[in-house]
Amino acid sequence: MSRSCEGRVVAVTGGGRGLGRAHALAFASEGARVVVNDLGVGLDGLPGADSPAARVADEIRAAGGEAVAHAGDIATSEGAASLIRTALETYGRLDTLVNNAGFLRDRMLVNLDEDDWDAVLRVHLKGHFLPLKHAAAHWRTEAKAGRTPVARIVNTSSGAGLLGSVGQGNYSAAKAGIVGLTLVAAAELRRYGVQVNAIAPAARTRMTERTFAEAMAAPDGGFDAMAPENVAPLVVWLGSAASAGVTGRVFEAEGGRITVMEGWRAGPTVDKGARWGVAELDEAVRGLLAGSDVPGPVYGSQT
Ligand SMILES: NC(=O)c1ccc[n+]([C@@H]2O[C@H](COP(=O)([O-])OP(=O)(O)OC[C@H]3O[C@@H](n4cnc5c(N)ncnc54)[C@H](O)[C@@H]3O)[C@@H](O)[C@H]2O)c1
What CATH code is carried by the domain that includes residue 150? 3.40.50.720
Q: Report whether pLDDT(298) > 90.
A: yes
Round to whole Å and give the CA distance between 238 and 255. 17
Round to whole Å and give the CA distance between 244 and 193. 10
User: Which pLDDT belongs to residue 279?
Assistant: 98
User: Which pLDDT belongs to residue 179?
Assistant: 98
Tens digits of residue pLDDT in 237-269: 999 999 999 999 999 999 999 999 998 999 999
Specify the number of domains making up the chain.
Answer: 1
Tens digits of residue pLDDT in 85-131: 999 999 999 999 999 999 999 999 999 999 999 999 999 999 999 99
Catalytic pick among 4, 171, 172, 192: 171
Q: Which of the listed residues 12, 13, 17 should we mutate to test ligand 1's pocket, taking the one with most ligand atoms within 8 A of CB? A: 17
Nearest CA residue ID for atom 19, ligand 1:
207
- Is 51 an annotated catalytic residue? no
**How many angstroms is it from 246 CA to the middle of ligand 1?**
24
Atom of ligand 1 nearest to the CA of 21: 16
User: Which pLDDT belongs to residue 303?
Assistant: 64
- Is 175 an annotated catalytic residue? yes
**How many angstroms is it from 275 CA to the middle of ligand 1?**
48
Question: What is the share, in percent, of the chain residues with pLDDT greater than 70?
Answer: 100
Q: Is residue 287 part of a domain?
A: no
Q: Is residue 235 part of a domain?
A: yes
User: Which pLDDT belongs to residue 201?
Assistant: 98
Q: Report whether pLDDT(11) > 70.
A: yes
The arithmetic mean of pLDDT across residues 142-149, rounded, is: 98
- Residue 58 sits at φ, ψ, to 5 deg, of -60, -45
Split at pLDDT 50, 70, 90, the class of 8 is very high
Q: Is residue 77 part of a domain?
A: yes
Round to whole Å and give the CA distance between 224 and 204. 10
Q: Is residue 199 part of a domain?
A: yes
- Is 272 an annotated catalytic residue? no
Cα Rg for the chain, rounded, in angstroms? 21
Q: Report whether pLDDT(73) > 80.
A: yes
**How many angstroms is it from 14 CA to the middle of ligand 1?**
6
Q: Is residue 268 part of a domain?
A: no
Which residue range forms the structural domain that includes residue 224? 9-261
Q: Report whether pLDDT(230) > 80.
A: yes
Q: Is residue 269 part of a domain?
A: no
Tens digits of residue pLDDT in 280-293: 999 999 999 999 99
Q: Is residue 26 part of a domain?
A: yes
Round to whole Å and give the CA distance between 33 and 96. 10
**How many angstroms is it from 208 CA to the middle of ligand 1?**
10
Ligand 1, pocket residues at CB < 6 Å: 13-14, 16-20, 37-41, 45, 52, 73-75, 100-103, 123, 127, 156, 158, 201-203, 205-208
Q: Report whether pLDDT(1) > 80.
A: no
**How many angstroms is it from 174 CA to the middle of ligand 1?**
13
Q: Is residue 89 part of a domain?
A: yes
Query: Going by C-beta distance under 8 Å and a sequence separation of 6 or more, which residues neighbour residue 259?
Result: 251, 252, 253
The arithmetic mean of pLDDT across residues 190-209, rounded, is: 96
Catalytic pick among 82, 157, 172, 175: 175
Q: Report whether pLDDT(215) > 90.
A: no
Catalytic pick among 158, 165, 240, 243: 158
Split at pLDDT 50, 70, 90, the class of 302 is confident
**How many angstroms is it from 183 CA to the middle of ligand 1?**
21
Atom of ligand 1 nearest to the CA of 171: 43
Tens digits of residue pLDDT in 35-63: 999 999 998 999 887 889 999 999 999 99
Per-chain mean pLDDT for the chain: 96
